[in-house]
Structure 1
Amino acid sequence: MSLNTRAIAAIGAVVVVGAATVGTSVAIAAGQTEHISHRATITVGNSSIVADPLCWNNGSPITEDLQQKCQDDATEALKNGTLPTSDVVASDRVGIGVSPNVADSGWWAFTNGGSSSQGGRTSLASYAKGQTWSGAQQANKVLNASGKTLVTVVEGDKNSDNPIAVWYFQLNTQDN
């Protein structure tokens, strides 16, 4: 018995509809009723953390007043230990990823660590547009001496004064 083209197409349609149903069911079961479009991911060694932006103005540029509130919120979250956090050892590699629509807007990422010749700030990703991954850098080059390194990811046009979204992550240096 051979299958004709119509039968193969029907089977394919059933598979596609079934996959869509399962995918939608998983999203609903997880409490997600819409796609999450603004996410950043930090990868440290073999582990990753995905986060929503700490500062977000529904896709509009963040005003100067909101930027100050964002910085205050980030300082408070860092103090309280409520930022997304990952342990890191000097031999790990650290990289940043963003959602495709964040990449379409443009983004960059940096840490408050690094050598004094870099002013104590190290770029994890120079301004990129269309690129979703920073590449991974050696952790010992991006960490600060305090043992707690703040990673900042910013979405926005490099020619604009106001970002669209800002994410913060904390890296805790561990002994090898």
Structure 2
Amino acid sequence: MTHVPTAAPEPVLDHPAVQRVAAALSAFGVRGTITVLDDAARTARQAAVALGVDPAQIANSLVFKAHRPGGAEESLLVLTSGAHRVDTVKVADLIGLETVERADPQFVLEHTGFPIGGVPPVAHLRPPATLVDVSLARYDRVWAAAGHPHAVFPTSYDELLRITGGQPAEVA
């Protein structure tokens, strides 16, 4: 069953994380409006069902622990199509890292300021290095999280590159 987004309930749009994303999007000149979903969309599949789109049109914001040669650890944001699984070995090799591993919820919250399921591509507490899945370029419109499991916004591949300063990459 497809759930079409309805009028935005005030609490979600007033949530501080969503407000932070809205301010960042406005500062970048993003025209897409934050949409509030009836149900939480913590996965690409859930978001796609709620929006009536293909899961490949969901730009998942996945946070990884990136280990630099010599042991330094930092966050890495990979914006990937909801149809893909990130190949961490490929990503590590691509950008010269020793290893890349999926971050735990506490690491994600500490580095981004957002909980898993609502991590947007922008407005992070510590702006991470970012890779943007080239497969998202196939679509005129993709959807990304807006700081809350019920909030998303429409964007495009080119806009994701612009607003994140991300690097195009084949991540799957």
Q: State TM-score, norm by structure 1.
A: 0.29
Higher strand proportion: 1
Q: State TM-score, norm by structure 2.
A: 0.29
> Based on CA coordinates, which of the two structures has the bigger radius of gyration?
1
